[in-house]
Amino acid sequence: MPIPLLAEGFGRGVANIPYLWTVAQAAVAIGVVVLLKYYFGGARCRSERVMHGKVVMVTGGTSGIGAEVVNELATRGAQIILLTHHTPSDPFLVDYIEDLRTVTNNELIYAEQVDLSSLHSIRVFATKWVDNAPPRRLDMIILCANIMTPFFSKGQTTMDGLEAEWAVNYLSTFHLLSILSPAIRAQPPDRDVRIIFSTCNSYIGGKLEFKETETATKSGSVSYARSKLAIMAFAYGFQRHLDAYKRPDKQPNNARALIVDPGFSRTPGTRRWLSGGSLWGLLMYLLAWPLWWLVLKSPNQGAQSYLLAAMEAEYARGPGGKLIKECRDYEPLRPEVQNEEVAKRLWEFSEKQIEQLEKEGAVKRALAKKEAEKKDKGKDKTKEDTTAAAPAATTGEEKKPGSGSRRSRKAK
């Protein structure tokens, strides 16, 4: 077919080739789409590091970008510890881990129950981890867990009474790393330890208004931006905290804090945000799917900067506290992110907030425990009374036969 068309073009002129203009227009349109898709797909991680023997702790590793990161690292041989709010016996989690082990040919994938919206749950897990002697191996912590209130929706609150975005995106990370800090610093000096934080461009418009974190704001977008600004300031502050530690073996600090901006991706959280959490919004999202497919990354494409931060050899050397986006180093666009005074003020506020909330939570749990004990005692007393009354009914004074009793009917 192409040969006769070319012959026709050479013989009678290019203009006489049938449907030439239509084919040219289609080719240009397809080429533009391919180029745009390539551009919006972002950079690819080229690191080929083998991860055998590495112990990697991951939050948010069961969906979206976190699931892609876990899948790639497990394929390369890393031991994965998933922190999830599901119990290890949950059918969904059991099937997910079994499938992941089969796909990656890696049996070293486990799960620990940690509810990131509960400060008590975080403390129970982290304390148990730190109390282990000798210190457990920990090569990497990847913090992919993220919550984002749907577009134009009012902010949510957690069981501790905090903004959901503030509690899950920032304060849970602060609480977890504050407790795990001794375990991180106790790793041998020849071990490459990395803590990878998550952020996004929304931090540029965030404001660190601390008092507003204790109640749900009118806009989830405002609280989300605030949480991302806070997590970046904390990441730089945590790096300074690690660098200030004097190791007993006099070796330099071997832990690096890295910040990753994965870009805009088609994750479940993004879909929920764009759809507004409603059925009508979901319908509009589906109708506009070709646009989202074109301009948003897939979860795998969004995971590339995380994989670079986890595997690239250059990040094991030199100072930490680097922002990685599109597999390249960037400078933060907000100067207060690297400001030591801002980080100190944020750290002090976070410690006080956690201390206050944990005291309140302890009181609530104690009261709930007493209430449960009272109910149990009441049930036991009822059972005792019932047991004591049963013999009296059978061995006590015989009741006189009533008119409707079987004995009275026999007497008649």
Task: Give the catalytic positions in this structure.
Answer: 228
Average pLDDT, consecutive stretches of 10 residues, N- to C-terminus, the chain (412 residues): 59 64 86 91 89 94 93 94 91 93 94 92 94 89 90 76 89 95 92 94 86 63 88 94 90 92 90 84 90 92 94 87 92 91 93 92 88 80 66 50 45 42
pLDDT for the residue 221 = 77
Residue 220, amino acid: G
Check if the beta carbon of residue 322 is closer than 8 Å to that of residue 258: yes
pLDDT for the residue 324 = 94
Each residue of 144-168: pLDDT tens digit?
998 888 866 777 788 888 888 899 9
pLDDT for the residue 134 = 85
Residue partners of 275: CB distance under 8 A and separation at least 6:
150, 151, 281, 282, 284, 285
pLDDT for the residue 412 = 41
What is the DSSP track for 333-367?
Answer: S-GGGG-HHHHHHHHHHHHHHHHHHHHHHHHHHHH
Q: How far apart are alpha carbons 163 and 160 in whole angstroms?
A: 9
Q: Which of 249, 262, 242 is nearest to 201 (CA)?
A: 262
* Pairing outcome for strands 79-84 and 55-59: parallel
pLDDT for the residue 223 = 85
Q: How far is CA 244 from each of CA 237, 238, 239, rounded to the nearest angstrom?
A: 11, 10, 9
Q: Which two tokens stand for residue 66?
A: 């976190």
Q: Which two tokens stand for residue 50?
A: 């083998």
Check if the beta carbon of residue 308 is closer than 8 Å to that of residue 324: yes
CATH number for the domain running over 55-357: 3.40.50.720
Each residue of 241-273: pLDDT tens digit?
999 999 898 898 899 999 999 999 999 888 888
DSSP strand E in 2-95: where? Answer: 55-59, 79-84
Confidence (pTM) = 0.85
DSSP strand E in 29-132: where? Answer: 55-59, 79-84, 109-113
